[in-house]
Every structure is written in C-alpha cells, then in structure tokens.
Amino acid sequence: MSEGGRPPGALRRATLDDRPAIAGLIAVSARGLGRGDYTDRQIESAIETGVFGVDTELILDGTYFVVEAEGRLVGCGGWSRRKTLFGGDRFARREAEELDPRSEPAKIRAFFVHPEWSRRGIGRRILERCESEARAHGFRSLEMMATLPGVRLYRALGYVEDERVQYEMDDGVRIEIVPMRKSLAEP
C-alpha cells in the first residue's frame, strides 16, 4: 500500500492498444507469482494454450481494467456479462452469449499483477471496481474459476470456494482451479 493508504498506480479501462502489454504482464505475473502453486510446465501450458491470456471481448465490452504505474502496466483484471468463464482469445471454449443479470452471476476474469507490485492493493482495487460495475448492471452475484494464487485475493474479498477442479488443458497438462462465488449484497 502506498502512502496515505491508497494503492499505487492509475486505474483505467483497457484499450485494444494495450493488448501486447497485457499479454506480457500476464506472462510475467503467472511466471513470477504462480510458482509456489504450480509447476513451470503448468504455467507455460496455461500461457501457451490461452487459459491465461488476453480476452479481446472484455476490452471491447469496456469491462477490462489496467493499472499503470511508472509508465508501464502493473495490474489487469475485469468482469464479464458473457458466459465464457475463463481463457483468452486463443482459448477454444468460448461462449459469447450474454448472461441474464437477474438470474445468473457475472464473471470475474483474468486478474494479474506484476510480481514487483504485488500485495500493494492493486488486485483488490480492480476487483472492487468490477464488483461495483457488475452491481450497477443489475447483477446480484459473481463467479469465477480462480487459480490457486487468485484464491487468496478472492477469499480476502468474501468469495467462497467450491470443490477444486483438475482442469485438463488442450495439451493434456492438468491444472488445479477453483470455482468461487460471491453474492452482491447492497454495499
């Protein structure tokens, strides 16, 4: 946390021009912060198969955010009103259909913070922004498929875990991910 208690950096909506920088940040973040929970092979497979990757649809929807500090991207993450639960552009299993806010949870998607900027409140700040926007769109709950490093952030913000899933990526490598959910009560 920076002086004055505010997380560092400037939060803004991602643009299409950010895509290369977001892809770079995702890879650096996963390699730097994923090691305690996953093997190098699992991390490289997740990047390679697009399980960790940029989802252009979220950027076009205006529901993906980046945090910039010292002239570079240090955090990213978003929410979605569409059915796709995880995965970037290269990921085959995508469902662009829109959700019904009255009966279906919005999705929390692709949070990654630069290792040099972790534990300074950036993830929390992006997540709180996503929650307030999803609420403003009429959603009453949120869900996601969290990575193991992500679970710690989401748990701290009131998300509840379901049974862990062994997900098989397109190259046959398996990775443990965790369905999580939160009800959006009035703030």
Site residues (CB under 6 A) for ligand COA? 29-30, 33-34, 111-113, 118-124, 146-147, 149-150, 152-153, 156
Shortest distance (Å) from residue 153 CB to ligand COA: 4
> And the tokens for 59?
């950027």
Q: Which is nearer to ligand COA, 29 or 63 (CB)?
A: 29
What is the DSSP track for 117-163? GTTSSHHHHHHHHHHHHHHHTT--EEEEEE-HHHHHHHHHTT-EE--
Q: How long, in residues, is the chain? A: 187
CB of 140 to ligand COA, least distance (A): 21
DSSP letter (8 states) at residue 57: H
Q: Closest separation between CB of residue 51 and ligand COA, Å?
A: 10
Beta strands in the chain (DSSP E): 10-13, 64-69, 72-80, 106-113, 141-146, 160-161, 165-168, 174-183
Task: Give the span between the Cα atoms of 79 and 62, in whole angstroms.
Answer: 9
- We find the least distance from the C-beta atom of residue 123 to ligand COA, in angstroms, to be 3
Cα–Cα distance measured from residue 78 to residue 69, given in angstroms and rounded to the nearest whole number = 18
Question: Of the two residues 1 and 138, which places its CB atom closer to ligand COA in the complex?
Answer: 1
Based on CB atoms, which residue is closest to ligand COA, 138 or 176? 176
Q: Least Å distance between CB 83 and ligand COA?
A: 17
Which residue's Cβ has the minimum distance to ligand COA?
123
CB of 117 or CB of 139, closer to ligand COA: 117
Nearer residue to ligand COA within complex by CB, 122 or 173: 122
